[in-house]
Structure 1
Amino acid sequence: MKKYFAAASLIAVSLAMPLQAAGPVFDTPAPIAYMVDLSSGATLFAKDADRRIPPASMAKMMTVYVAFDLIKQGKLKLDQKFAVAPETWRKWHGPQAGSTMFLETGEQVSVQELLYGIVTLSGNDACVVLAEGISGTEPAFAELMNQQAKKLGLTNSHFGNSNGWPDEGRTFVTARDLAKLAQATIQDHPQLYKQFYSQHNYTRTLSTGQVIKQDNRDPLLGVVAGADGLKTGHTEEAGYGFTGSAEQNGRRLVMVVAGLDSYNGRASESVKFMNWGFRAWTPHKVVAKGRKVGDAEVQGGGSALVGLVAPKDLAITVPSGTSPAMQGKIVYTGPIKAPIKAGDHVADLVIATADGGPQTLPLVAEADVAEAGFFRRAWLGFWGMFGL
């Protein structure tokens, strides 16, 4: 069961001030916009964030996530090569096929090159070749995408193909789900994210000797400090969209805009939105690294309790220039079963402020708790018979 404990000793709570205030205002023509601070879990802005929309090329983030996960598991290697099937080349070659990395029929292409082609160049051809190379067919690969979506909790998303090409509504996402996918990519695969998502351009040399250099369409790269991903998207149906991220002074934001009506509008709104996130909001430290916040109950352990400490300096996100009233509680699913290792993430500190929704910060075990020995297990069993 989930346990809740007030953290009154940790946070000074002003009982006279109700937690009912508005955060900083942001005005955008984007029909859909969403921003989250990954450092605190705070949602900074949400405008129709749960409306199902066609993702266009932002769907490629899931194709890349699937590939990253297979690489992490050792089931896929960056130097592994896949052939460009003639029928795939015919379908995804030429102006009618949208963005391309100019793959050639019969060409053997490495997974690494395909990933650059997807992330930097938004190559529709690269997505399909990678999908077919991994799963045999693109529909089979789409099943992998949906399995990952389920694992990641993308409850309002479904993928019918690998590149976000219009498919009569089978492929859809929400801004909130796109932000979750971006967060998972950054946190689950940090080295691969760093390698592939921050390239400003990519150059290929064709068999004819022709050199083709294409720029990344990410509107934040080189414009907003700390910007390092993720993915743009555009179709007539979806309009212009972008899922982006940037990190400044250890604080990382993820933003999504969708449904804009022009390339330049997407660029200007994305820059304005991300700058607003960093300027209008600021971190507010609540717990120092290593400080004990409370205890959690332990089941079947040599100790009945384990201390809960901050694994790093913990900060919430608040409007710049404010020091808001806060209310906090410790939350965990327990009693927590032994054995427990010091540093294990076993609980969360959930903090509510007047300016937004709850913010969730991790708490870790202060010390190891071994499984109970024979005599303690017998003792616990005895008292358990009486429901004590």
Structure 2
Amino acid sequence: MADLQEEFSATAEAGALDQALVPPDPVPDPALVTAPGTDTVRCASPVDRARTLLAAHPVADGYSGLPWALRELPWHDFETGDSALEGDVPRLRAGRVGAQFWSVHVPDGPSGDRIVRTTLEQIDLVKHVVATHSDALRLARNASETADARNCGRIATLIGPARGAALGDSLGTLRALHSLGLCVVTLCGTSWAGEGGLTPFGEEVVREMNRLGVLADLSGASEVTARRVLAVSKAPVVFMRSGARALYDHPANLSDGLLAEVGAAKGLVLVPLAAGRTGPTVRTAADHLDHVRRIAGPECVGISGTHDTRETHPEGLTDPSCHPRLIAELVERGWSEAELAMLTWGNVQRALRGADFTARATRERRSASTATIDRLDG
């Protein structure tokens, strides 16, 4: 295990795949548009350019609360949009969403076995919804399946994040949840990833997640925990709902120092479209994206819609169909097409590829861990 940590750095090696993330096929110049019914070419508006860019590089949305929202609705019409949902199929299509992480977080309240049971129910619900709407959705576990879904005209649906408490302090439960399709686990809120950092069992959880290909979500984690996970993990780590603390002092937002460390480790910060975390307007959300790009780097920033959650959204970004407005704001700020392609699609693909690369290499060196919390932390 120590040899693996010292000799193998999948994050660096997986970085060689980054060049393949942007499709090589030429796309129309987003700065130009042909007037309908004529051969006249004119300069496109920022929104026109945004839509053209998103047609080539759709949004990989880092967080949807749809599974829990569906539990609380007496009825819904996910297919036509005639319901109380924010992220139904018509709005996802209008916003050019190509992939989406469906959170199976269980709200605070249930504990112990109830969290595990409710998480399993959430995963079952996700699979049922995707199967019911197979013309629009397809389950995905990794970068290849995500790309396949997109190429087939489906929205890739990835399961996660789940709360770390859903593991029940058991690596066997982690493996069982992964076998059901879980892709991401949020570490904070557990005894082994608390304010004081990772415990020995917590480090073993991260190593086992690396072996399985499950991404570690550090949103809400203390800085000491985040820094230790960055040191232990051989796969990219993600912050599924974090902005810049320099702009807005929310507990889940990251200091500039930590953002720089995430950039050095080639992690990924998915900025939430949530007024309580990134401000009340399109411009304030774009400010956070600008800041994370500047400090961590353009290959380390992405978008979390946080729709169908209890979060209040910035004005103009109330549902997934509004993504072109955000991209248009970034176009006006001078983001290049390459940077926007990484923001919307490429960076999430890189993280997923890094997790898969790490898992395949790690399984050649390491078998399933039999560690228990009582043995390591007792």
When normalised by structure 2's length, the TM-score is: 0.26
When normalised by structure 1's length, the TM-score is: 0.25
More strand by share: 1
Give the number of the structure whose alpha-carbon radius of gyration is greater: 1
